[in-house]
Chains A and B, each alone.
Chain A
Amino acid sequence: CYNVPLRACLFLALAGAQALTPSHHLSLSDVARLQSLLSQPFTDLESAYYSVVGLTKLGAEVCHFLKSELDPASVDSLFFAVETSQAISGCEIPVSNETRDILLAAVSEDSTMGQIHRAVSALGSLGLPLASQEVIGALTARIEKEDNVMAITSALLAASRLSQQAELGGILEEIEDLTARLDDLGGMYLQFEEGLEATAMFVTAAYSLSDHVGVEPPLKEDQVIQLVNSIFSKKSWDSLAEAFSVASAAAALSSNQFHVPVVVRTHGPATVSHSQPTLQLLVTDVMSQPLTSANVLVESANAASSKSSILSQAPFTLNDGIFEFNFMSSQPASGYYQFTIAVTGDKRLVANQVELKVKVSTEVAVTNMDLSVVDKDQSIGTKTTRVDYPSKAKSSFVADSHQYFAMAFQLVDVNTGVELTPHQTFVRLHNQKTGQEVVFVAEPDSKNLYKFELDTAERKSEFDTISGTYSLCLIVGDATLENPILWNVADVVLKFVDEEAPATIQPKTLYVPKPEIQHLFREPEKKPPTVVSNAFTALVLFPFLLLLILWFKLGANISNFRLSPSTVLFHVGHAAMLGLMYVYWTHLDMFQTLKYLAIIGGVTFLAGNRMLAQKAVKRCVSR
């Protein structure tokens, strides 16, 4: 199997049920790479077939090589030579009656499907007569026996070489069966588990037969796009055969009568601005060949944030293979816009409605930058200094704990004069001596006027109460701004009260090695000394001795022991069970023990039963 990008799967799963558009196709560089792989020098007929026919399908002193390498007794050899000669003009492979007979003999239900396909193709390319009904019979019989994907694909390819009057309906139905066998991966990819070659050859065969018969293949639009994604997602191919299959599929998908997938890409980034007012699109087929006969228009363009419609039904103009549209003429405000683009003009086009996110960027200018030092009790009048971008204030501002430093400015769009509120408006104070840096955010008020105030007493903790000269920078940035601003506006001298001796800034000790943890192994339990346990072991065995003595004194004996087979067997079995217990303790596990116990126990039980029955009888008789 080949790589399926997980990121792409997740993205589409999150995007929800949108109409599918191809996420993979052969870009021009991919086509060039495919061509260079197929252009490698070939060493045998098979490679020659793949290379030359593959290159021809992609739009690339072979004949002599074909004739010299041909083995007229082999169906495969004939197929490769004849098909390759078809691809080059003016190359005729000589054929004799034996050749024709060999090829005709191969068309039977006893040959493999691959052989049938090759024989049929060779016969067709050589112009030799062929009984279509016989071939269909052989193919249908063979499909029953060879049910795999490659075999049925070969059957489809063979059927597409037969006469159009033949009854190809049965074979045509196989396309639907094969479609059902495709694996759906995340709703984005549709492929056979046999791999890329099988999927690509299936697409080639399905369209080849459908074009031949004139019946639209039973593939839904979404399925076509999923197949496109699967086939063209792999960008380096393992073998000539695989490359050939991809080239065939690309040709089939660009020029069949029913489905032509459309690939819409922006030429460059999807951004327009005053310096670059046109949105440029490349509308191509899966091989990056431009669809110049198509009409491309913007169905709707809505602002991403407010969803208000800016445009509707506006056409693109074709300029040297690229579709262009001047968006700035509609004077959009800066920001993001959601475009819906429709490609029409050919009813075969598939996936011809595309959603595109377009960014309109602009340039920002800082105006009315006013800096002042305001006294808290308002006793001294404030002096405002205006600074123009990009110069720096000539004198530095001094603020101690009785004052605060204030800054006000406006951000406007250079082209339209509209006030902007970019995402990033920061005021950065940087102490040159200690290297300390403090960043604040400047907030706009309701009239989009930015204000920043630095209260010296309140903010002293952020500065670590280190007095000194700080250079003040204004940072303005946004995705839609083409000119982010980093402007050293002025120098500010801050004087804090309760100043500690300026300590050098210690970087936080996050990344130094931490103290080592010593692992404490579990203490073994305190065991009693061996003497004690040995003594008690002996002590515990002592009552057994007592038992034997008592039994002897009572006169217990085995004089009544009858030497019959059941008694012997019972006692042996019982001893074996006790032995098994010991072995269980030392060697076995429960399952093995239960197994042995079942056997020994069964024997002992039967013997014991017999023995005890005999005893009972004896007891009743003696009564």
Chain B
Amino acid sequence: MSNSVISVISRFLEEYTSTTPTKLKVVDSYLLYILLTGALQFLYCLLVGTFPFNSFLSGFISCVGSFILAVCLRIQINPQNKGDFLSISPERAFADFLFAHTVLHLVVMNFIG
């Protein structure tokens, strides 16, 4: 049972490293970074309690928001999805990504207290 799981995972990793363009891998590593940051924040909150609750929320929502925006960017710049995003060039996707981040950071900074 675990054997098949391990083989599935190794197969997946192999496919991933070979077929994914570098650009997407850059975005994926960014996604991993965001995920880890968010997870660590949540762990801290679980351990010591929610004392500055607004700060915790703002930090956590920042991670979640950034993750979502990065996922959107990844979908939009993936050349395999070009058919779904005919009117949105990768540059446009990146510009949208930056604008949405500005708004997100404004809100996060307001709430961080």
- Nearest residue (CB) in A for B91 is A612
Tell me the number of A-to-B contacts counted with CB atoms below 8 Å.
76
Contact A551 B49 (CB under 8 A): no
Contact B37 A540 (CB under 8 A): yes
Known contacts A584-B109, A590-B110, A615-B91; is-contact A536 B33 (Cβ 8 Å)? no
A554 at the interface (CB under 8 A from B): yes
**What is the CB-to-nearest-CB distance from B70 to chain A, in angstroms, rounded to a whole number?**
12
Determine which of A546, A555, A619 lies in contact with B33 in the assembled complex, contact meaning CB atoms within 8 Å.
Answer: A546
Contact A597 B40 (CB under 8 A): no
Contact A616 B89 (CB under 8 A): yes
**What is the CB-to-nearest-CB distance from A71 to chain B, in angstroms, rounded to a whole number?**
75
Query: Could you say which of A101-109, A490-498, A520-528 contacts chain B?
Result: A520-528
Contact A608 B29 (CB under 8 A): no
B98 at the interface (CB under 8 A from A): yes
Contact B29 A543 (CB under 8 A): no
Q: What's the Cα separation between A608 and B93 when bound, in Å?
A: 12
A581 at the interface (CB under 8 A from B): yes
Give the residues in chain B near A619, CB-CB below 8 Å: 90
Give the residues in chain B near A527, CB-CB below 8 Å: 51
B82 at the interface (CB under 8 A from A): no
Contact A593 B40 (CB under 8 A): no
Give the residues in chain B near A608, CB-CB below 8 Å: 95, 98
Give the residues in chain B near A613, CB-CB below 8 Å: 91
**What is the CB-to-nearest-CB distance from A399 to chain B, in angstroms, rounded to a whole number?**
76
Interface flags for B99-113 (1: CB within 8 Å of A; 0: not) read 000100110011010
**What is the CB-to-nearest-CB distance from B99 to chain A, in angstroms, rounded to a whole number?**
8
Determine which of B33, B41, B47, B98 lies in contact with A547 in the assembled complex, contact meaning CB atoms within 8 Å.
Answer: B33
- Nearest residue (CB) in B for A613 is B91
Give the residues in chain A near B94, CB-CB below 8 Å: 612
Known contacts A526-B49, A584-B109; is-contact A616 B22 (Cβ 8 Å)? no
Contact A551 B26 (CB under 8 A): yes
- Nearest residue (CB) in A for B29 is A550
Which A residues between 111 and 133 are near B, CB-CB below 8 angstroms?
A: none
A503 at the interface (CB under 8 A from B): no
A510 at the interface (CB under 8 A from B): no
Give the residues in chain A near B72, CB-CB below 8 Å: none
| B interface residue count range (under 10 / 10 to 19 / 20 to 34 / 35 or more) | 20 to 34
A577 at the interface (CB under 8 A from B): yes
Contact B106 A597 (CB under 8 A): yes
| A interface residue count range (under 10 / 10 to 19 / 20 to 34 / 35 or more) | 35 or more
Contact B105 A532 (CB under 8 A): no
Contact B33 A543 (CB under 8 A): yes
Contact B102 A546 (CB under 8 A): no
Contact B102 A601 (CB under 8 A): yes
- Nearest residue (CB) in A for B44 is A536
- Nearest residue (CB) in A for B108 is A581
Q: What's the Cα separation between A137 and B13 when bound, in Å?
A: 108
Q: What's the Cα separation between A1 and B59 when bound, in Å?
A: 62
Contact B29 A554 (CB under 8 A): yes
Contact A574 B98 (CB under 8 A): yes
A533 at the interface (CB under 8 A from B): yes
Which B residues between 32 and 56 are near A, CB-CB below 8 angstroms?
A: 32-33, 36-37, 40-41, 44, 47-49, 51
Determine which of A526, A550, A554, A581 lies in contact with B106 in the assembled complex, contact meaning CB atoms within 8 Å.
Answer: A581
Q: What's the Cα separation between A608 and B48 when bound, in Å?
A: 43
Q: What's the Cα separation between A581 and B98 when bound, in Å?
A: 14
A539 at the interface (CB under 8 A from B): yes
B30 at the interface (CB under 8 A from A): yes
Contact B51 A547 (CB under 8 A): no
Known contacts A581-B105, A616-B89; is-contact A526 B41 (Cβ 8 Å)? no
Interface flags for A589-623 (1: CB within 8 Å of B; 0: not) read 01001000100010000001100110110010000
Contact A597 B33 (CB under 8 A): no
Which B residues between 54 and 102 are near A, CB-CB below 8 angstroms?
A: 89-92, 94-95, 98, 102
Known contacts A554-B29, A590-B110; is-contact A543 B102 (Cβ 8 Å)? no
Most-contacted residue by chain B among A525, A540, A544, A550 (CB, 10 A): A540
A585 at the interface (CB under 8 A from B): yes
Known contacts A536-B44, A540-B41; is-contact A547 B29 (Cβ 8 Å)? yes
Contact A593 B106 (CB under 8 A): yes
Q: What's the Cα separation between A182 and B112 when bound, in Å?
A: 60
Contact A581 B22 (CB under 8 A): no
Q: What's the Cα separation between A551 and B47 when bound, in Å?
A: 31
Contact B91 A585 (CB under 8 A): no
Known contacts A540-B41, A554-B22, A577-B102; is-contact A612 B29 (Cβ 8 Å)? no
Most-contacted residue by chain A among B94, B102, B105 (CB, 10 A): B102
Give the residues in chain A near B30, CB-CB below 8 Å: 547
Give the residues in chain B near A546, CB-CB below 8 Å: 32-33, 36
- Nearest residue (CB) in B for A586 is B109
Known contacts A547-B29, A556-B26; is-contact A609 B95 (Cβ 8 Å)? yes
**What is the CB-to-nearest-CB distance from B103 to chain A, in angstroms, rounded to a whole number?**
10
- Nearest residue (CB) in B for A583 is B109
Contact B26 A554 (CB under 8 A): yes
- Nearest residue (CB) in B for A532 is B48
**What is the CB-to-nearest-CB distance from B31 to chain A, in angstroms, rounded to a whole number?**
10
**What is the CB-to-nearest-CB distance from B112 to chain A, in angstroms, rounded to a whole number?**
6
Q: What's the Cα separation between A539 and B42 when bound, in Å?
A: 12
Q: What's the Cα separation between A556 and B106 when bound, in Å?
A: 29
Q: What's the Cα separation between A597 and B103 when bound, in Å?
A: 10
Q: What's the Cα separation between A528 and B105 when bound, in Å?
A: 27
**What is the CB-to-nearest-CB distance from A544 to chain B, in angstroms, rounded to a whole number?**
6
Q: What's the Cα separation between A116 and B91 when bound, in Å?
A: 84
Contact A543 B36 (CB under 8 A): yes
Give the residues in chain B near A532, CB-CB below 8 Å: 47-48
Known contacts A555-B22, A585-B112; is-contact A616 B29 (Cβ 8 Å)? no
Q: Can you list 16 A-B pairs, Cβ within 8 angstroms, ordered by A?
A: A525-B51, A528-B48, A528-B51, A536-B40, A542-B36, A543-B36, A544-B37, A546-B33, A547-B29, A547-B33, A550-B29, A554-B22, A584-B110, A585-B112, A601-B102, A612-B95
Contacts A540-B40, A543-B40, A597-B102 given; 6 further ones with Cβ under 8 A?
A547-B33, A551-B29, A554-B26, A578-B105, A585-B112, A612-B94
List of 4 A-B pairs having minimum Cβ-Cβ separation, nearest first = A528-B48, A612-B91, A543-B36, A547-B33
